[in-house]
Every structure is written in structure tokens, then in C-alpha cells.
């Protein structure tokens, strides 16, 4: 669920796997792919949310570090392995190429690491583009473009509802401020389980995602009870 606050273990359990070792996970199941992102200062990649509030720019991943490659940041991000197989970069790029040829866009579920041990689901996105361009180190990197979408769950499958954009993404820095201010608890009952970041004034009624003043932590019970009504 979008803006749900979860642990790493809960994230893995949600996806039905033992561990998520990679940041990019193409077709981790039959319905969608998964990416893990971070906008923290020490993050290894330059991920960001565009000014429109619904589009993510996600940097592809480097070649693995080995005894012969001490600094992967000096090498172009690979599309294929030495044996010619597509890397995760290549698989995601191919999905975009197929989309440009008329196929349905790849659905991607996005999780973001906010703090040590604290993750938040950003929701579902469609993978719509990429660039392979030079970065500040004069090497080539993949920049993938993902637009947020609205989906319905039908049994074990997913159905995209017209690929309509949803509400603006709550910025990562705002989530961090709210987590610290609310001490990781529901502001109504003090629960520490099944937590979500919630717009105090609903976005559909004019609320904003930009400042911490309009975002708070609610447990799932109080989040559902609110039902998009101004309290």
C-alpha cells in the first residue's frame, strides 16, 4: 500500500521472497518488477523525484565490485554481461524499448529506504523511458523514468485503471521529518504497527505533500477510519 511504513523483513515478506539483495528486480513475479531506491546523502545512486511530484528518475546499477574492479563508479553501467546476457539495466531498458513499440508498459513497485531499518512503499509506477548518458564522472549511466499509476487488485493479479496519475509523492525529507516528529507512532493511538504516512488535509481537498505540517503518521485502523474525510 502506498506510503505504508515497513521494515526490510516486512518488505521481503510482502514480495514473498527470502531476501531482496538487488536494488533492481525485473519481473520478480508475474505481474510487476520491483526497485529499491534511496535519496539519502550516502545513497550509492542518484535517484530523485521530479518537480511534478509523480515521476521518479531512477539511476541504473553499476558493474559488480571485484578484486580487479575496486571502483565501479569509473566504468559505464552495463547493458549486458560479458557473456551477452542482459543485466538488470538491460532488462529494464528492453521493457522500455518494447513499450515504445506498442507493448504495455512494465509495472514497477517502488520501495524507498528512509532511515536505517525504515522503509516506505511509494506505490506502483509505469516504466516509460530511459536515457543512457554521461554523469559527472564522464561515464555512461542509465536513467530510468517512471510515472505513478493507479491500480486495482483482482485476486492475485493487478489491473491498471487507465494509467491515471495519482496524488503527489510525499518527498523523502518530509517523511523523515514526520517520522522523527511523530516518534514512529500513530499520532492518535500510539500504535507502532501497520503505520502509514497520511495527508492531514487530503490531497483531493487541497492538501499539499510538500511540508511536514500536512503529513502525519497513522496506523492502518485510523487511516481507514478517516476515509478521506477532513477531521
Same domain? 50 vs 145: yes
Same domain? 162 vs 178: no
Q: How far apart are CA 167 and CA 165, in angstroms?
A: 7
CATH label of the domain that carries residue 25: 2.30.280.10
| Average pLDDT of adjacent 10-residue blocks, the chain of 231 residues | 89 91 92 92 88 90 89 95 96 98 95 91 94 93 94 65 60 90 95 88 60 90 69 47
Residue 103 lies in a domain: yes
Q: Is the dihedral of CA 111, 165, 151, 34 positive or negative?
A: negative
Can you give the pLDDT at residue 228? 47
Same domain? 47 vs 143: yes
User: Count of domains in the chain?
Assistant: 2
Same domain? 33 vs 56: yes
Q: What is the DSSP string of 145-180?
A: EEEE--EEEETTEEEESTT---SPPPPHHHHHHHHH
Q: How far apart are CA 182 and CA 197, in angstroms?
A: 10
Same domain? 91 vs 191: no
Contact 159, 152 (CB under 8 A): yes
Residue 231 lies in a domain: no
Can you give the pLDDT at residue 153? 66
Can you give the pLDDT at residue 66? 87
Same domain? 148 vs 113: yes
Q: How far apart are CA 159 and CA 87, in angstroms?
A: 27
Contact 76, 86 (CB under 8 A): no
- Residue-range definition of the domain harbouring residue 205: 174-226
Same domain? 81 vs 194: no
Amino acid at each position: 500500500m502506498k506510503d505504508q511504513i515497513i521494515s526490510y523483513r516486512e518488505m521481503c515478506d510482502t514480495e514473498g521472497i527470502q531476501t531482496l539483495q538487488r536494488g533492481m528486480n525485473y519481473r520478480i513475479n508475474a505481474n510487476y518488477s520491483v526497485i529499491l531506491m534511496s535519496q539519502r546523502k550516502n545513497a550509492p545512486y542518484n535517484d530523485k523525484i521530479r518537480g511534478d511530484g509523480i515521476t521518479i528518475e531512477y539511476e541504473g546499477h553499476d558493474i559488480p565490485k571485484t578484486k580487479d574492479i575496486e571502483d565501479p563508479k569509473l566504468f559505464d553501467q552495463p547493458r549486458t554481461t560479458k557473456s551477452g546476457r542482459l543485466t538488470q539495466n538491460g532488462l529494464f531498458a528492453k521493457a522500455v524499448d518494447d513499450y515504445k513499440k506498442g507493448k504495455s508498459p512494465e509495472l514497477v513497485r517502488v520501495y524507498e529506504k528512509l532511515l536505517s531499518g525504515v522503509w516506505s512503499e511509494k506505490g506502483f509506477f509505469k516504466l516509460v523511458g530511459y536515457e543512457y548518458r554521461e554523469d559527472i564522472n564522464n561515464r555512461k549511466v542509465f536513467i530510468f523514468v517512471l510515472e505513478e499509476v493507479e491500480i486495482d487488485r483482482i485476486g492475485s493479479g493487478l489491473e491498471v485503471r487507465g494509467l491515471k496519475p495519482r496524488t503527489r509523492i510525499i518527498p523523502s525529507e518530509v517523511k523523515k521529518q514526520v517520522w522523527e516528529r511523530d516518534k514512529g507512532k500513530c499520532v492518535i493511538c500510539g500504535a507502532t504497527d501497520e503505520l502509514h504516512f497520511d495527508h492531514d488535509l487530503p490531497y483531493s481537498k487541497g492538501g499539499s505533500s510538500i511540508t511536514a505540517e500536512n503529513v502525519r503518521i497513522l496506523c492502518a485502523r485510523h487511516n481507514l477510519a478517516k476515509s478521506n474525510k477532513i477531521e
